[in-house]
Structure formats: C-alpha cells, structure tokens
Chain A
Amino acid sequence: DVKVTQSSRYLVKRTGEKVFLECVQDMDHENMFWYRQDPGLGLRLIYFSYDVKMKEKGDIPEGYSVSREKKERFSLILESASTNQTSMYLCASRGHPGGYTFGSGTRLTVV
C-alpha cells in the first residue's frame, strides 16, 4: 500500500523553538505539499515542491521554510515557533495526473 508518513502525530513545542516536521513518501512522486488546516479556514497551502531541491511558496509561507534534499522526503521548518502556528499540518504527495495521497497529519501545539 502506498504511503505518506509524517514523523509525529502530536507535538508540543515552546514559543521560539525551531521545529522540524518530517514527511516521507514511498511512491516516487515528484510533487509534495505542506498544508495547514484550521477550523473555519480549511486547508491552506504553505509550500510545495516539484522536484528535489526545488520549492515554491504557497498561500501562507511566512514563518515557514522547507527542505527537499531527497525525492522521498519533504521537511517543513518553523524557524521560530509562535502560538499562531498551532495547527494541524498535513503533508501530501502527488503523481500526475492523479489525486493527492495524504499523511495522517501532525497536530502541533505551540505554548
């Protein structure tokens, strides 16, 4: 079964910490995405990547960065976590021209 794996289901971090959210896919997909999901706001795209070492800003990239050193791994980095980054983070990958395969999500709480 094809999979997208997010390293943590739940995380609690302190304000100002640097936070790494990891995502790994085993489908050899070129496209990978990071979304955050908040009540009333739906899914909002943070960053995406078409290929290794390539990245594109989504709709809400401020306060985040990404890394894609290998095709299967796409990392989301919160440079200095803030309370307004408390959210559910969803990673997805996509082969063309199909749908997304999502990971199970990481619920991040910043205190």
Chain B
Amino acid sequence: SQQGEEDPQALSIQEGENATMNCSYKTSINNLQWYRQNSGRGLVHLILIRSNEREKHSGRLRVTLDTSKKSSSLLITASRAADTASYFCATDAGRASGSRLTFGEGTQLTVNP
C-alpha cells in the first residue's frame, strides 16, 4: 500500500498564486521529504522535515508536519510558471524500513503564466 498519498492529484493555478499540496501517510516516520520532478526527468530533493519538527521553510517553500494526523503539507508561495512540475512526498520510517523512502503518487502542479 502507498505510504505517502498526495492530495490533490492535480492542481492548476495562475502565476503569483500560492499552491498547497497535502500528503498523508500511515505509519510512524523518522522524517518526511518533498521532491519535485520536471517532466521526463529525475526527482530533485526539496526539503526534509524531521518527526520532531512542525514547520520548515526554504525560500518560497513552507512545509508543515502533523504527526498526530500523519499528514504534511507543502506550500509554494508566489508561484511561477517554472514551478510547473510533479511534487512527491516521501516518508522515511528509519531503521524499521532499512532507511528506504516510500513515495506517494505525486501532485501535478501547473502554473499558468
């Protein structure tokens, strides 16, 4: 079963708007990570949030983590056309999973100029 499940599956917004993507997971985690994938390319690591953190910022990215609800959100502020990509959350259950990551199916974000 999918550990990380993103919501929505697809999101279309106008340039300058904020984009929010959500991720839910089922088991205890050591950390949660977000990745971005441009069409036909590999994934790029964006940000990692540990299980004892509630919020983290990196540039225009803001990630929150609620371990009681087993959910995370990724907010991209002031979006740009270049932010168009698929975004994936990935969970790390630590030693219990052999430090492997489990990925969700992703949210396809389209930012219209």
Contacts and interface: CB of A to CB of B under 8 A. Distances in A.
A83 to B, nearest CB: 20
Interface core residue of B30, B88, B92, B101 (most chain A CB under 10 Å):
B101
* B-side interface mostly: strand
B84 interface: no
Interface stretch (B20-28, B41-49, B52-60, B67-75): B41-49
Contacts of B104: 42
B34 to A, nearest CB: 9
Nearest to B103: A43
Nearest to B101: A100
* Range class of the B interface residue count: 20 to 34
Given A98-B48, A99-B48, A104 B103 contact: no
Contact of B45 (A33, A40, A100): A100
B100 A42 contact: no
Interface in B76-110: 88, 90, 92, 98-106
Contacts of B106: 42
Given A40-B105, A42-B105, A105 B100 contact: no
A101 interface: yes
B103 A58 contact: no
Nearest to A105: B42
Given A42-B106, A100-B45, A105-B42, A58 B100 contact: yes
Interface in A28-82: 31, 33, 35, 40-43, 45, 48, 50, 56, 58
Q: What 9 A-B pairs are tightest by C-beta distance, nearest first?
A: A102-B42, A99-B45, A42-B105, A43-B103, A102-B43, A104-B42, A105-B42, A99-B33, A103-B42
Interface of A: 4, 31, 33, 35, 40-43, 45, 48, 50, 56, 58, 88, 90, 92, 94, 96-105, 107
